[in-house]
Amino acid sequence: MIEIINVCKSYDEPVLENINFIIENGSIFGLIGINGAGKTTFLNMISGVMGVDSGEILYDGMHVYENIDVKKDIFFLPDEPFYTMNTTPLNLVNTYKVFYKIDIEAYYKYLKLFKLPIDSSMYNFSKGMKRQVFVSLALAIKPKYLFLDETFDGLDPLARLTLKRELIKLVEEKNTTVVISSHSLRELADICDSYGIINKHDVLSYGNLDELMYKYHKYTMAFDRILEEKDFDFPIVKFNRENKIISIVTTLDYEEMKDKVSLLDPIDLEESPLDFEEEFMIEVKNQGVERWGSIF
Ligand SMILES: Nc1ncnc2c1ncn2[C@@H]1O[C@H](COP(=O)(O)OP(=O)(O)OP(=O)(O)O)[C@@H](O)[C@H]1O
């Protein structure tokens, strides 16, 4: 278990203030936040690359910063990993095998799957190709803790699918704990079981993804007259009206909703599904954020 307790970090300005998360072993945790929210800073701190200003980051009770016993189990794949002019996929493992045990057969298997030239300088690779090399390495290391900074972004569909499948396999077979930041909510929804949203230096919402998926319900109702939001006597997260058709997002389940609106005598009441992106946006809005980056 990774415990992030009251963690604060500033550069010139505060970036993260009193961040608290618990990340269970064997879970896939999706880290969400707008550009500049502090995701990379957070990943740098939990991988022990960067110290905290205050607070604690504990792995099964042990501090991570400058603790080689903990850090040997962590592989952090940054947004722009380091390599030199002379680095090829073939010789990249020489650097990493000093720190990690690498399943070389698996590494070659992934390089072959991605059709990467193994003996060419990575300097001439596209951004996506370089990312595929490092994804192959991360998967072949099979670490106990794997942290991925925006790794999905910039990968082609085959590489994204492979990464998702292999991450799930790693969790099943090695009980790996994965923390992945991404701007693609759909990719995160496919694989994560838990999530954390960082906004304005703080944790806006975090928890179990399934619970978030069932937290809000969307209903569409038809009436024989025009009704207003004030006619409904229960908490409404989102209200839309088009003539006599009303759509409402609320935390009430279907039976509770039926009970509540029965007095208003609707002609029709239907529940429509919400996908993760909608659930996520509604959660952010419900937590009091009116505009969140460019997606709202
Ligand atoms: N080394 C640094 N020195 C000063 N400020 C920094 C440094 N690194 C990051 N910052 C600032 O800290 C804030 C958080 O940056 P960070 O890279 O952690 O955000 P992020 O959520 O990963 O962003 P993005 O989604 O754009 O990658 C930003 O305002 C950034 O300008």
**52 and 198 part of one domain:** yes
Distance of CA 222 to the CA centre of its chain: 37
CA-nearest of 175, 179, 106 to 140 is: 106
- Pocket residue to mutate for ligand 1, from 12, 40, 44, 76, most atoms within 8 A of Cβ: 40
Give yes or no: residues 123 and 198 share one domain.
yes
Average pLDDT of span 75-103 = 94
The residue-averaged pLDDT of 167-189 equals 92
- Residue 8: which CATH number? 3.40.50.300
Residues 145 and 223 in one domain: no
**Mean pLDDT score, 254-265:** 94
From 169, 188, 208, the end of a domain falls on: 208
Q: Is 50 helix (H, G, I), strand (E, B) or coil?
A: coil
Number of domains in the chain: 2
Question: Quick one: 77 and 185 in the same domain?
Answer: yes
Look at residue 290 in the predicted model and tell me its pLDDT.
67
Q: Best mutation site among 12, 35, 41, 292 for ligand 1, i.e. most ligand atoms within 8 A of its Cβ?
A: 41
The pLDDT, as a whole number, for residue 104 is: 96
Most confident of 26-30, 95-99, 281-285: 26-30
Q: Is the pLDDT of residue 295 over 50?
A: no
Q: Are residues 80 and 159 in the same domain?
A: yes
- What is the extent of the structural domain holding 65? 2-208
If you measure from the C-alpha of residue 36 to the centroid of ligand 1, how many angstroms do you get, rounded to a whole number? Answer: 5
Which of 191, 208, 225 is at the close of a domain?
208
Q: What's the CATH number where 243 sits?
A: 3.30.70
Determine the atom of ligand 1 nearest the C-alpha atom of 42.
18
**Protein residue whose Cα sits closest to atom 10 of ligand 1:** 11
CA distances (Å), origin 158, targets 114, 164, 203: 8, 10, 33
Q: Which of 208, 243, 266 is the last residue of a domain?
A: 208
Q: Are residues 113 and 182 in the same domain?
A: yes
Q: Are 170 and 198 part of one and the same domain? A: yes
Tell me, yes or no, whether 195 and 229 share the same domain: no
For 163-187, what is the mean pLDDT?
A: 93
Instruction: Tell me, yes or no, whether 77 and 198 share the same domain.
Output: yes
Q: Looking at the structure, do residues 146 and 174 belong to the same domain, yes or no? A: yes
| Site residues for ligand 1, CB cut-off 6 Å | 11-12, 15, 33, 35-41
Check residue 294 and give its pLDDT: 44
Residues 148, 44 share a domain: yes
Shared-domain flag, residues 25 and 134: yes
CB count within 10 Å of CB 97 equals 12
Q: Transcribe 103-131 into DSSP letters.
A: -HHHHHHHHHHTT--TTS-GGGS-HHHHH
